Amino acid sequence: MSVPTFYRETLARAESAWHDLRFHFARHSMNANQPSSRVHGLDTLRALAIGLVVLHHYVLFVSRADTFGWVGEIGWVGVDLFFALSGYLIGNQIFAAMRSEEGFSLGHFYGRRLLRTLPNYYAVLALYFLVPAFRGDQALPALWKFLTFTQNINLEPGTAFSHAWSLCIEEQFYLLLPAAALLVAALRGSLRWAWAAVALTLGAGMLMRGVMWHEMADAGRLAQHHYFKYIYYSSFCRFDELVAGVALALLKNYHAGLWRRLSAHGNVALAAGLMLTGITFALFLAGRYGLAITLFGYPMLALGFSLLIVAALSERSLLRATRVPGAEHLALWSYAIYLIHKQVCILAAVPLAERGYGPESLVAIGVSLVLSVLSGWVLYRLVETPFMVLRDRYLPSNAQRAASMTSNAAGIAPRKSSTAPLS
């Protein structure tokens, strides 16, 4: 083959690949704006979670005042709601794959996870490390802590990109859960072992929080700083909601009868979940750093949020049936919004104040919230979406592969589903 011929063929293949990728990107974009199999109840919960977190961070890092009342104060629970949703969705993917004909592949799972979480994360991380004006005068932990997802360990509160702590815990969980699931599945009586692992993990979390609380109390260091550094940000102390979500997935996939009976009473689950979370919110607002609430508050949140997820998945539930305007889009953009919103609000506060709009003014609040959503949307469109296209093309989920095989057998071009939250 001559050199010119080689170059012409290489160029032709590159052009074909580029046009093919553009075609997949266009189809992905169109499908994302069309009605899909998304569960409206889960979208509502995810939108609620990101809303609570944004309001809480605005109070904590911008206004430093009681701007949104108790909602802004308790808004940190949005992260716990994210944890519960992640635990259920990831657990459901793993267990459903293990029960499918295709089976579960560790490499496939990790590949899809990395393409889902890393691009946005690395993009925002680059802003913090390469653009000093973006991070301001905040101290920045070492890069290796972010790259190894260990930034949450002994994290100093108030440092730059401190809210990445929750992503670190989720990534640690994503790394451990599938391997643990395969290990348990290899054991005789694996289902009993799985439930034992859930109970053991929840008990270990309570034990760790109790030990850390007593150590700080005995040393006279039971202050807000140490509570956050050694308990709130700790991986071992914060698996409650993630494990509760996994327990729901375990129930759905391996106890079909019990799951049907439970999900048949979605509105009862909704009422019970709202009641339990309301009580837990009140207890946390009354005193967040006491021993009893430190031990039992997080499991109570885990149970309350799990009931809300059951309601969101129940066919006749009000939560599932109600389509809240804008919730689907906020759910789609929530990961990107979470990563970038805090610094956007901090940076916007300065020029707004110079123009006479203090952080508690309606103008400053409105502009900050709009910029948070807008910047998250930009990150979603420019970074997340292209990688989702690549993931769906080269690492399709079991459901996508099954749909493709069915449509191909029928001679129909497969239709891609829109990107599901935390999928």
Determine the pLDDT at residue 278: 98
Q: Are 117 and 171 in contact (CB under 8 A)?
A: yes
Chain-centre distance for alpha carbon 256? 26
**Strand, coil or helix: 255:** coil
Shortest CA distance to 24 belongs to which of 393, 332, 380?
A: 393
307-335: pLDDT as tens digits: 999 999 999 899 999 999 999 999 999 99
Determine the pLDDT at residue 404: 58
Report the mean per-residue pLDDT for the chain: 88
- Confidence band, pLDDT 50/70/90 cuts, at residue 225: confident
What pTM was computed for the model? 0.88
Report the share of the chain in percent with pLDDT over 90: 76
d(Cα 230, Cα 217) in Å, to the nearest integer? Answer: 12
Determine the pLDDT at residue 221: 63
42 HSE (CA, 13 A, CB side): 21
Q: Are 141 and 354 in contact (CB under 8 A)?
A: no
259-281: pLDDT as tens digits: 999 999 999 999 999 999 999 99
Shortest CA distance to 117 belongs to which of 154, 82, 80, 157?
A: 82
Q: Are 166 and 234 in contact (CB under 8 A)?
A: no
235-252: pLDDT as tens digits: 999 999 999 999 999 999
